[in-house]
Structure 1
Amino acid sequence: MHRDEFGEGVTRTAGGRRAGQEFLARLKERTADRDKVMSPIAFNNQLKAIHRWGLEKPHDLSVVRQPVLVANGGLVGVEPVGEAMWEGAYR
């Protein structure tokens, strides 16, 4: 799997490319109440926040004893989360 114009999780197979094209077509169907485009300032601030978070000392997640849902929001512009960013979830 790779990240391209369709976003994360689209395979390079013919079926994956077709699913990606269908996804983009569905996105264009909605014309009202669409999310605003992220400004360059907001994008830069988000990258700075991610960088600061990456420099923090890791938290001891072994003390968490209840189920946890980790979600990457879809209503705001989000920098793609790579494998290195998920490392903290497995500590």
Structure 2
Amino acid sequence: MKAAVIATLAATSVPALAAVRTVTLAVDNMTCVTCVPMVKKSLSQIRGVKRVAVSVEAKTATVVYDDKATNVAELVKATTNAGYPSRLKRSASQQRRAR
């Protein structure tokens, strides 16, 4: 009986739960406040993006997104295509560990 239950569960396709992720991108070429809406628009148009906050002072974009609908590579591609190349910003603790 136990083997039958395990076999049934293994054969049943259970969709993985989507996770909402938050990432911060370091964004190049942002020089003034008029750049902010361009970066925000490029990211907001991606399916799965929930929220975008852009800081010209910090030269960053913080994005909340559904990881089943998009990924960091797509976010980077969107800003780059808009003329603002970006990359995943590493936290201070990540930078220390890399040394």
Higher Rg: 2
Q: Name the one with the larger helix percent.
A: 1
TM-score, length of structure 1 as denominator length: 0.27
TM-score, length of structure 2 as denominator length: 0.26
Q: Name the one with the larger strand percent.
A: 2
